[in-house]
Amino acid sequence: DAGVTQSPTHLIKTRGQQVTLRCSPISGHKSVSWYQQVLGQGPQFIFQYYEKEERGRGNFPDRFSARQFPNYSSELNVNALLLGDSALYLCASSLADSLYEQYFGPGTRLTVT
Amino acid sequence: GIQVEQSPPDLILQEGANSTLRCNFSDSVNNLQWFHQNPWGQLINLFYIPSGTKQNGRLSATTVATERYSLLYISSSQTTDSGVYFCAVNRDDKIIFGKGTRLHILP
């Protein structure tokens, strides 16, 4: 079975623009979570979705939003990009409604100039 | 919020050596996980260990929840063990990662 997939792999945007990142979970997994990893730091939890509902949210501004589709894939949207949004964005999926035993995708590296 | 501290921040070892990585957390947690991030950025779940000891090949982990720490042991290190090891704790529908231990295994 395919693992968690994310697109695009790399992305360069300008300050003030908007970006959409995409994630497809492992087949059968109903929970998707998003993380931001700034260089040299551990991942920071942004959102968790289960069965298309938001189940958890980290300390991120309202510029960050997400949704989960009926096929359990997910999108992360970031509006009004700042230089500080430059990071590796990781998506993870799990079977149950939890943040346990997650499987991570390869990430999308976002650079804001 | 909960603080997660990992030590040491960096570790350089010769191939074949053993190592112990530590994770301290500041409050009670629902769960604790260890991850390995390889040099290409891929994050792999190593252990899901709220308490007790688990072993998987050359790796083992012990969590003492009452004393708020966990240890990851790597025996007979190989160059493929290089990367960053993260500890992450779960609490109140959130997950908090430490800053990681960067491990370099020299051939």
**CB atoms A88 and B41 under 8 Å:** yes
Report yes or no: A88 at the B interface, CB cutoff 8 Å: yes
Model confidence at A80: pLDDT above 90: yes
- Rounded CA-CA distance B81/B79 in Å is 5
* Token pair of B75 as six digits: 């025996």
| pLDDT at residue A1 tops 70 | no
Sign of the alpha-carbon dihedral angle for B10, A58, A37, A93: positive
The amino acid present at B70, given as its one-letter code, is S
Residue ranges of E strands in B39-93: 43-48, 52-56, 59-64, 69-74, 83-91
The shortest C-alpha distance from A95 to chain B (Å) reads 14
Q: What is the mean pLDDT of residues A21-26?
A: 98
For chain B, the residues whose C-beta falls within 8 A of a C-beta of chain A are 4, 31, 33, 35, 40-45, 48, 86, 88, 90, 93-100
Question: C-alpha distances in angstroms, B107 versus A88, A111, B2, B6, B17?
Answer: 29, 34, 38, 25, 11
Percent of chain A's residues with pLDDT above 70: 99
Cβ atoms of residues B56 and B36 within 8 Å: no
- Whether A102 shows a pLDDT value over 80: the answer reads yes
**A97, pLDDT greater than 90:** no
pLDDT at A98 over 90: no
**Residues with Cβ < 8 Å from B13, sequence gap 6 or more?**
B19, B77, B103, B104, B105, B106
Mean pLDDT computed over A36-46: 95
Q: CA-to-CA distance for A20 and A2, rounded, in angstroms?
A: 22
What gap in Å lies between CA A86 and CA A36, rounded to an integer? 9
Say if the Cβ atoms of A43 and B98 lie within 8 Å.
no
- For chains A and B, CB pairs below 8 A equal 54
The closest of A64, A67, A35 to A51, measured between CA atoms, is A67
- Looking at beta carbons, which residues of chain B come within 8 Å of A96? none
Determine whether the interchain pair B33/A100 forms a contact, defined as Cβ–Cβ distance below 8 Å. Answer: yes
Q: Which residues of chain B have pLDDT under 50?
A: none
Distance between CA atoms of residues A33 and B94, nearest Å? 10
For residue B35, which amino acid is it?
Answer: F
Q: What is the mean pLDDT of residues A65-75?
A: 97
User: Both ends of chain A: CA-CA distance in Å?
Assistant: 37
Minimum CA–CA partner of A43 in chain B: B97
